Amino acid sequence: MTTTITPYRSRLQPAHAGFGGLLLAEWTKFRTVRAWTIVLGVAAVATAAVCLLGAAGSSTGGGAQDTYGPDGTAVVDVFRYTHRPLTGDGTLTVRVTGLSSADGRTVEPWAKAGLLVKRNLTPGSAYAAVLATPTHGVRMQWDFTHDTAGSRTDVTTTPRWLRLTRTGDHLTGYESPDGRTWTKIRDVRLPGLPHTVQVGLFTGTPPHEDVRRAFGGTSETYDGGQATGTFDHLSLRGTSAASWAGTDMGPALPDGPAPHNAPPAGTTTVSASGTYTLTGHGDIAPAQDGPDTVQMSFQGVFFAVLFMVALGTLFVTAEYKRGLIRTTFTATPARLKVLAAKTVVIIAVTFTTGLAAVAVGFTLAQHALRSNGFTPPRFPELSVLDHPAPRAVVGSAALLSLVAVLALAVGVILRNSAGTIATVVVLVLLPQILSFALPLPAAQWLLRVTPAAAFAVQQGVTRYPQVTYNCLPESGCYPLSPWHGLAVLAAYTAAALLLAAWSLRRRDA
């Protein structure tokens, strides 16, 4: 007699190995480990608290002598000006025959000599200028923050003709090698320009700056800085009822003796042949020497990186340590899907938490800074929605999230908690610390090529290419732009994830 045995069939529904199920499984792992959720909460509170404490420890004496441009930007408006009034439209033409240092030192790259039309003689008033420089060629600049390049002519070796034409609110700059063939540089509009303006020649130069760095600190020295510009073939077409007058432009100095390091007064001389020689100091540019109150509001992010590194690491190495990763891969043989699910979960929890913590920390820090003297107009009053705060807040949250993913990927590769945490901390935080002590070129190199470049996303000060400044890490300045700096960390993270994926496919669990 033959017995037929019916095969067993489970009444349970078959499991779905879809990506959504994996996400749910990885999220369940994360939220059911109480220590991880506690660490995430502590990280959020600590981040906001350190942002507040860091800002509360900063103070400023204000800026009574600050000058502000037409758009409210703090500016430097100091130069030697030989000028006269122009009523209505007109054209000013001159040939710049030389520009040199007046104190025996090398002329500064952004020393300037040229033509300038200015609303009035009030520091910070609207202007447009066409000018020549030693190493940056001919430029058209207006209202302090705007700059357009002309030819690359070095005025220290080659004379250059310049022309500035006014038609209503429009100012147009031209240049020429011979005074006959003219090339237009730019036409700009200065809204509300009065019927009578000041026009003339100007010369200025930034001060000589010396930066010395050692492991004991950084010293910056500003001294001297006078330039001499020579001009000929000066002509003005238009209505002007006055003669040429020389003025040292700049804010009014307080009563009393001049500071011992104050540059000498500027001079204007005119030869019998009509050659004008102007000697002066100063610059016409945005002020770049103030603290970055946006970057100062994110000191808690540096501290939060440690928490994110630990979370990203333990999210994967804990399974390797206890052997649970074998169970995970047995249930889901598609290992790369598991890695992707872990990555999405760690991104979601760290970015969400980081965004909330950083936004609260920024708001608290800004309030503390205003209480300590960082007030308008020198320091704008920013909410979390005012430019550039949204970029800095979201970018800081993205930084924390990328660091957690980097730790996750390195954890897959090393499969060791201590080694992973040490590796990621060295990559992300150590370059930042070393940059405060290393020589400036080495420090800036580190902040370009390591994940620490991502902290550039917290910068709130606009850096203008037409201004000479030393980018010091301890002042919150980074050599890369905000998004380019964050992209460096993103590239490291992507590379680590690719290596982690390769490791998962090649190695046993």
Burial class of residue 216 in the structure, from the number of CB atoms within 10 Å of its CB (0-12 exposed, 13-18 middle, 19+ buried): exposed
Provide the pLDDT for residue 395: 96
Residues in the chain: 509
Provide the pLDDT for residue 186: 96
Provide the pLDDT for residue 18: 78
* Secondary structure class of 388 (helix, strand, coil): coil
Query: Considering the entire predicted model, what is its pTM?
Result: 0.84
Identify which of 491, 482, 435 has the alpha carbon closest to the alpha carbon of residue 460: 482
* Secondary structure class of 307 (helix, strand, coil): helix
* Secondary structure class of 426 (helix, strand, coil): helix
Where exactly are the structural domains of the chain? 19-61+291-506, 67-286
Provide the pLDDT for residue 11: 47
Which residues, given as ranges, of the chain have pLDDT below 70? 1-17, 61-65, 210-224, 252-263, 325, 329-332, 508-509
Provide the pLDDT for residue 217: 63
Provide the pLDDT for residue 116: 97
CA 193 to chain centre: 32
Task: Decide: 315 and 346 in contact? Cβ < 8 Å.
Answer: yes
Provide the pLDDT for residue 256: 47
> Is the domain covering 67-286 a CATH 2.60.120.200 domain?
yes
Buried b (16+ CB within 10 A) or exposed e, 229-257: bbbeebebeeebeeeeebbbbbeeeeeee
Query: How far apart (Å, rounded) are the C-alpha atoms in residues 463 and 145?
Result: 10
Tell me the torsion sign for CA atoms 52, 58, 62, 68: negative
Task: Decide: 245 and 270 in contact? Cβ < 8 Å.
Answer: no
Provide the pLDDT for residue 346: 95
Q: What is the pLDDT of residues 317-368, one digit of tens each?
A: 888 777 776 777 666 677 788 888 999 999 999 999 999 999 999 999 999 9
Buried b (16+ CB within 10 A) or exposed e, 376-393: eebbbebeeeeebbebbb
Long-range CB contacts (within 8 A, 24+) of 255-263: 261/223, 263/207, 263/224, 263/225, 263/226
Provide the pLDDT for residue 208: 77
